[in-house]
Amino acid sequence: MRKLVLSLFALLVLATIEASACTSYLVTNGASADGSNMISYAGDSHIRYGQLYYRPRAIWPEGAMQTIYDRSSNRALGQIPYPRETYQVIGFMNEHQVAIGESTFGGRRELVDTTGIIDWGSIMFLGLERGKTAREAIKAMVELVEEHGYYSSGQSYSIADPNEVWILEIIGKGMDIKTERRSKKTYNANKGAVWVAMRVPDGYISAHANHARITTFPKEDGVKSINSKNLEKITNPEVEVVYSHDVVDFARAKGYYNGDGTDFSFSDTYAPLDFGSARFCELRVWAMFDQVSDDMGQYWDYATGMAQGPRMPLWIKPSKKLTPRDLMEFKGNHLEGTKLDMSKDVGAGPQGMPYRWRPMTWEYQGKKYFHERTTATQQTAFSWVAQVRKDMPNPIGGILWYGLDDANLSLHVPFYIGMESVPYTHSESNGDILSYSETSAFWVFQRVSHFTYLFYDRAIVDIRKKQNELRDKFEAFIPAIDKAAMMLYEQDPKLATQFLKEFSHNTAINTVNEWRDLGNFLLVKYLDGNVKQEENGEFLRNPWGFPLSPRHPEYPDSWKKTIIEETGDKFLQPNQ
């Protein structure tokens, strides 16, 4: 049995490495332009397929059991009882406007527990299926882990409802395998997890990107901060911090911490910072904060892993009110405007491409090197911005802005949470990561991105034009759709949900068609490295119908210089 557990541990570590690549933003009511709460997520994985999940609401008979599948491998982990009722979930938002996103921080590897049933992915959907509020979702998540064990490494979760935004960080307790003498039953004496959840203050924003960010936090004071022994008090709106009762004691028992608890830091204890967690993770948080704050220069050395320095705060007050579009644009960051801009060094090639193919770390002549890990990355399967609004009925208030493939090159479509199905273009039954489908939104966006990587500095201009055109349209439509849906809702809520379904489905289908047309346009325009002449999307011909001669853009001087430095006079024309 012990050998089996160790083998599963090795597989889980590999799966965790594959999963650990997501960037999440959290925005409270007072920090958003329209008073909505927002969180965002990017599903970065080399094996994940982009599809819009759908789980209908359901009533379950007594004794019904739910099978839990590991999101990293699809391996069945075990079964847990269903509650009497589960809520409808579309993507990562439920019918009550509760939304949950995540990022893996890994942490201390010895704390991985392969005997548990609740994994990092299932816990999100379990919280969505069982929670009408962010607080209820957190309660359900941590109680399920306590009862059934946590089959994952360290994880950060963004959890929002129309009134609040929370960040939850959790890590397992490792494996203390014991066997009962009489029954010979093997079990893990460390079942469960240690965790901390904190409410983001109104008017502030936060972010996490594959490293634990909660440091010190107020301990039990009976009002604003409670531990898990008083978990029933989480519904009290005055509570702002909740944590596992043994989060400090367990660290002491493992030898990670020996203080009196006043200076206890969850992140520093359970996920000690190293160069990689700063440069590859915290730098992405810095990049987002830097776009809305003038005070981030002091954290540059820390975020780049060049010096310990002061840690970035868990949350900041932004210099402007944010919109869903802001978060979408933040998702496209490649460290532009910094000395680490991915489009500026030799690795960008002559087309200034801000991407580097994997592996991310590499060796040359016995020394180890790396490529930057930026927010926007080619292996993103999907990304979204959850916008939840407290002044509207739930079916109208919740919008999941959902995009597929590379967030920098994607287009986020507004899906109202009131719809009770998803369009076939985005459904789980339409293709997969190993099965191409002409009608799949994922594959349509993939084809456009794949072509753009060939001629990035040229094609990105056309991509931005189409993105801005459609984003402008969506932003103009939403207030009108809200108003019409509210009128219908007052007459008959079912009419309103049908209206929202038709709008969301039609918008999704039309967007896929427009993106397919964009891909065809790019293929024609940039065929063979040429640039065909066009005006407002129409290719130009001479008076007799023949194509005008294409342009042949020059290589940038920086690339010419690189060639000359590498080859000397090899390509120098004679007699000069």
pLDDT at residue 497 in the model = 97
Residue 172 placed within a domain: yes
- Give the mean pLDDT of 96-111: 96
pLDDT digits (tens, 9 = 90+) for 199-214: 999 999 999 999 999 9
Neighbours of 26 (CB within 10 A): 25
* Three-class SS state of 364: strand
Residue pair 1/9 in contact (Cβ under 8 Å)? The answer is no
Residue pair 206/167 in contact (Cβ under 8 Å)? The answer is yes
Residue 298 placed within a domain: yes
Query: Of the residues 349, 370, 391, which one is the last residue of a structural domain?
Result: 370
Domain that holds residue 560: 534-567
Residue pair 160/134 in contact (Cβ under 8 Å)? The answer is yes
- Looking at 17-26, 182-191, 493-502, which range is the least confident one? 17-26
Residue 204 placed within a domain: yes
* Three-class SS state of 336: coil
Residue 321 placed within a domain: yes
pTM of model > 0.85: yes
Separation CA 144–CA 120 (nearest Å): 12
pLDDT digits (tens, 9 = 90+) for 530-569: 999 999 999 999 999 999 999 999 999 999 999 999 999 9
Output the six-digit token pair for 303: 């975020």
Residue 353 placed within a domain: yes
Query: Of the residues 348, 370, 392, which one is the last residue of a structural domain?
Result: 370
Separation CA 51–CA 48 (nearest Å): 9
User: Is a pLDDT exceeding 90 seen at residue 272?
Assistant: yes
Which residue matches tokens 């959890």?
A: 159
pLDDT digits (tens, 9 = 90+) for 418-446: 999 999 999 999 999 999 999 999 999 99
Total number of domains constituting the chain: 2
Residue pair 123/153 in contact (Cβ under 8 Å)? The answer is no
> Sheet containing 89-90: which strands, arranged edge to edge?
54-55, 89-90, 93-94, 99-106, 154-160, 165-172, 193-199, 241-243, 225-227
Query: Of the residues 335, 370, 405, which one is the last residue of a structural domain?
Result: 370
pLDDT digits (tens, 9 = 90+) for 388-398: 999 999 999 99
pLDDT digits (tens, 9 = 90+) for 292-314: 999 999 999 999 999 887 899 99
User: Is a pLDDT exceeding 90 seen at residue 17?
Assistant: no
pLDDT digits (tens, 9 = 90+) for 42-85: 999 999 999 999 999 999 999 999 999 999 999 999 999 999 99
Closest CA relative to residue 459, chosen from 524, 381, 535, 378: 524
Residue 69 placed within a domain: yes
Separation CA 123–CA 142 (nearest Å): 9
User: Is a pLDDT exceeding 60 seen at residue 264?
Assistant: yes
Residue 28 placed within a domain: yes
- Give the mean pLDDT of 144-167: 97
pLDDT at residue 222 in the model = 67
Residue 205 placed within a domain: yes
